[in-house]
Chain A
Amino acid sequence: DSGVTQTPKHLITATGQRVTLRCSPRSGDLSVYWYQQSLDQGLQFLIQYYNGEERAKGNILERFSAQQFPDLHSELNLSSLELGDSALYFCASSETGVGYTFGSGTRLTVV
């Protein structure tokens, strides 16, 4: 157990639908990062939050959004889902200067 918790582990939904992925960072970590990993692809940075505020955006689609709550857990919202959104979505948390700790991911399948 890395200390970073992601739910659900698996999600199957239809095109056009909206889903919410949840991440609880490791205790004490203020930063949460979201990554998308499509089949046989590297990790693609989506967005970062630090202590409740958006800190940086990567290759995140306008259909996707995220937020970090006062208790530091984060949610990634994916809407108007397309087949190409099927991927593993990872959350990572960090303590400044130490590096990432990754969650086990949510596997999203859009059918």
Chain B
Amino acid sequence: KNQVEQSPQSLIILEGKNCTLQCNYTVSPFSNLRWYKQDTGRGPVSLTIMTFSENTKSNGRYTATLDADTKQSSLHITASQLSDSASYICVVSRGASTDSWGKFQFGAGTQVVVTP
């Protein structure tokens, strides 16, 4: 079972509108959570990173929230633009000291399409 679940799988929004993407995780122990934006055919680019003690982190029109108690995170996109059309991937890092692939758990991503 995937330890990082994202929803919705995809969504279509009108330009200028807001939207919220969800990420629920069961990864333990928790180290940090990062949201990535991946444009089609390009490498993922980090938007925000949050540690256990952080509740909110903003990057321009992107605002991520984290509730470490419920193990939930959200990514809010404000006043969407056509350039926001992309896949948004949630990645949760374990708190282990070893640097192993299992340390990073990937969600399947949410595909966002912004229409004029």
Contacts and interface: CB of A to CB of B under 8 A. Distances in A.
Interface of A: 2, 4, 30-31, 33, 42-43, 45, 48, 50, 55-56, 58, 88, 90, 92, 94, 96-105, 107
B43 interface: yes
Given A55-B100, A97-B31, A105 B46 contact: no
B101 A56 contact: yes
Nearest to A94: B99
Contact of A104 (B42, B106, B107, B108): B42
Interface in B92-116: 93, 99-102, 104, 106-109
Given A31-B99, A48-B100, A107-B41, A99 B91 contact: yes
Given A99-B32, A99-B91, A45 B41 contact: no
Interface residues of B, number: 23
A99 B104 contact: yes
Contact of A99 (B93, B107, B108): B93
16 contacts: A42-B107, A43-B106, A48-B100, A56-B101, A88-B41, A90-B44, A94-B104, A99-B34, A99-B49, A100-B34, A100-B44, A100-B91, A101-B46, A102-B36, A102-B45, A103-B43
Interface of B: 31-32, 34, 36, 41-46, 49, 89, 91, 93, 99-102, 104, 106-109
B54 to A, nearest CB: 14
Nearest to B33: A99
Contacts of B104: 94, 99-100
Chain A contact surface mostly:
strand
Contact of B99 (A4, A50, A105, A107): A50
B21 to A, nearest CB: 15
Given A42-B106, A97-B93, A102 B44 contact: yes
A107 B41 CA distance: 8
